[in-house]
């Protein structure tokens, strides 16, 4: 089997591992604060006394002008509204303020130690998908997905394998309404050129409208499983639709980015299906070694069968993208 060949795995050095550990310590609070603030409309809230009566007042800004809105007299209901605002928005602002410098320092050190390797343009799209929750419908694929495994495995992904000209994803559903390609295309259109998508052989190609530049590929699970039979078909389909593996990485422009990638086992098998392409063969071999030697869950019997089988005998070999 081509993927049976052992691949030399390069362990993260102490400073690199320390930055991953630090950002993982900070991220639950810091990342949550970013999402809370992104979902709020800004502004403030305070009690205002008019003729001896307290009113809960909401302050926001629109078009550079302050807007003031009364939410009503002080009652148990308005007190609950104010407490909710304090425990969410105000708390998120405090957390962001208190942790921002620590997060930035960790990102700068990660860049200095060589583990901030995600291109800023790709990071912008992935960040948007995380903010909007669209990452719950997609798993990152391609070379970028290998960055999601570094912290959990303690292994540095080879530089030659992580380079992506555009993003690749595997959808967790074939239902287009659930997938919401319009939102994904908007996230990919970081230069606001306008983006459109087109179906092509069990995947969607997202391109800029004018220059037709490829921004992303969204593979449907059927792209990988359509030529598999029986248990192999069901196993890989379930793996591709699974929740994936979350991992933190660093962008070149010194930001922490949360990735939701295919589980490494699913990645290894999907890459193995595309191994007619030399780059994918190398990615498959790396992912197989990673799973077998540095990931908590090894391949099960059915998964090993898929990897061991001769595709020219059991099913037609899948082409790469």
Tell me the per-residue pLDDT of 259-303, one tens digit each, with 9 for 90 and over.
Answer: 999 999 999 999 998 988 999 999 999 999 999 999 999 998 889
pLDDT at 306: 84
Q: Which residue has the higher pLDDT, 200 or 308?
A: 200
Residue 163 contacts residue 143 (beta carbons within 8 Å): yes
Query: Does pLDDT of 156 surpass 70?
Result: yes
- Sequence ranges of the domains in the chain: 2-13+116-314
Query: Does pLDDT of 30 surpass 90?
Result: yes
How far apart CA 95 and CA 104 sit, in angstroms, is 14
Average pLDDT, the chain: 91
What global pTM score does this model have? 0.87
Of 320, 314, 293, 304, nearest to 269 by C-alpha is 304
- DSSP 8-state secondary structure symbol assigned to residue 158: P
């Amino acid at each position: 089997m081509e993927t049976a060949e052992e691949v030399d795995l390069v362990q993260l050095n102490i400073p690199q591992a320390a930055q991953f550990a630090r950002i993982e310590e900070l991220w639950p609070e810091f990342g949550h604060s970013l999402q809370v603030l992104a979902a709020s409309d800004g502004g403030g809230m305070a009690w205002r006394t008019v003729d001896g009566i307290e009113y809960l007042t909401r302050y926001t800004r629109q078009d550079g002008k302050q807007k003031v809105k009364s939410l009503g007299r002080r009652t148990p209901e308005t007190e609950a509204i104010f407490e909710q605002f304090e425990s969410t928005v105000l708390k998120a602002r405090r957390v962001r303020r208190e942790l921002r410098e620590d997060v930035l320092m960790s990102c700068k050190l990660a860049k200095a130690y060589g583990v901030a390797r995600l291109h800023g343009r790709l990071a912008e799209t992935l960040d948007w998908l995380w903010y909007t929750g669209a990452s719950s419908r997609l798993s990152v694929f391609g070379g970028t997905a290998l960055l999601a495994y570094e912290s959990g495995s303690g292994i540095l992904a080879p530089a030659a394998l992580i380079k992506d000209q555009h993003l690749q994803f595997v959808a967790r559903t074939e239902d287009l309404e659930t997938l919401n390609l319009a939102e994904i295309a908007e996230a990919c259109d970081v230069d606001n050129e306008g983006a459109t998508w087109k179906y092509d052989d069990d995947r969607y190609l997202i391109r800029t409208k004018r220059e037709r530049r490829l921004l992303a590929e969204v593979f449907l699970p059927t792209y990988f499983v359509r030529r598999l039979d029986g248990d192999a078909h069901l196993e890989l389909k379930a793996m591709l639709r699974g929740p994936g593996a979350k991992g933190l990485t660093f962008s070149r422009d010194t930001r922490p980015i949360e990735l939701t990638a295919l589980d490494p086992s699913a990645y290894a098998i999907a890459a193995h299906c595309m191994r007619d392409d030399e780059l994918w063969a190398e990615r498959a071999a790396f992912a197989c070694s990673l799973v077998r030697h540095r990931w908590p869950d090894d391949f099960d019997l059915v998964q090993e069968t898929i990897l061991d089988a001769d595709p020219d005998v059991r099913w037609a070999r899948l082409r790469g993208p």
